[in-house]
Amino acid sequence: MKGDINPTSNQPNHIRTVVENSSRTVPAKSNRRELPRDVRELIRDKNADFRRAAKYPTCENMFQRVLSSVRNENWNDLMVEISPNHKAYWGLAKALKTEGAVPTSALKRPDSSIAFDDREKAECLTDIIELQCSQNSSSDKEHVDRVEEEVGHRISLPPKDDPDPITLDEVSTYIKALKIRKAPGKNSISSKVANVFLRYLWLF
């Protein structure tokens, strides 16, 4: 009919409107500071190494996979062939045996009495924790005051002699002695970062 409207005639306009509404203009240049060129190259090399390591596994990774496969095969063979006469049978049965919660032994109360059942043990633990968290009334306040006064006096004294200045060689020796795989300390600086810092320190 002449008055019919083709539903497909407005599709290009509708698609164009949807795309425009879901798009945003991105400036060619941003005010954000970019990383230095050498840092970007290092990141690019690191990502390339990760991709290369995933695509071409190293000999160590291949060895670990083969070793894990062999161990699994040996374990499966042991599970199939093990019998009560095997020397590892009873040890394996004991390791796989589960009996739920292991009962705790009897507890000794602060008054030297013994708690046997679970309710008495719970009360005993409560009394012990309460006793440990309560204030110590047997402390000698005069002795505590003397100790605090002596400590404050010694802290206020000037040092008898100035310590020798630390040389760069001493810092280098201590940093090189750090274990690479050791966990970082409270400052979150790992041994590897400290060694990198040492190389830059020699430039100054």
Question: What letter represents residue 126's amino acid?
Answer: T
Sign of torsion, CA 191 195 197 201? positive
pLDDT at 6: 53
Place of tokens 């996979």: 65
pLDDT in tens, 113-133: 888 888 888 888 888 888 777
pLDDT digits (tens, 9 = 90+) for 133-180: 776 666 677 888 888 899 888 888 877 777 777 787 887 787 777 777
Model confidence at 187, in pLDDT bands (50, 70, 90)?
low
Distance CA 145, CA 55 (A): 69
- Write out pLDDT tens, residues 60-111: 777 888 888 888 888 888 777 777 777 777 777 676 665 555 667 788 887 8
Domains of the chain by residue range = 36-88, 103-135
Structure tokens, 201: 């320190």
Give the pLDDT of residue 29. 66
Give the contacts of 34 (CB within 8 A, at least 6 positions apart).
Answer: 40
pLDDT band at 10 (very low <50, low <70, confident <90, very high): low
More confident residue, 10 or 69: 69
Query: Is 89 in contact with 83 (CB distance < 8 Å)?
Result: yes
C-alpha to C-alpha distance for 67 and 60, rounded to whole angstroms: 10
Q: Evaluate whether 176 touches 195 at the Cβ level (below 8 Å).
A: yes
Which ranges constitute the DSSP H helices of the chain? 11-21, 37-55, 59-81, 89-96, 118-133, 141-156, 168-176, 191-201
Residue type, 117: D
**Model confidence at 5: pLDDT above 80:** no
pLDDT score of 1? 45
Which pLDDT score, from 0 to 100, does residue 102 have? 61
Looking at residue 133, its pLDDT comes to 76
> pLDDT tens across 26-73, in order?
666 666 667 788 888 888 888 888 887 777 667 777 788 888 888 888
Q: List, in order, residues 6 or more apart from 183 with CB less than 8 Å away.
A: 190
Q: Which amino acid is at 202?
A: W
Contact assessment for residue 179 and residue 191, using Cβ atoms and an 8 Å cutoff: yes
Question: CB count, 10 Å around CB of 74?
Answer: 10
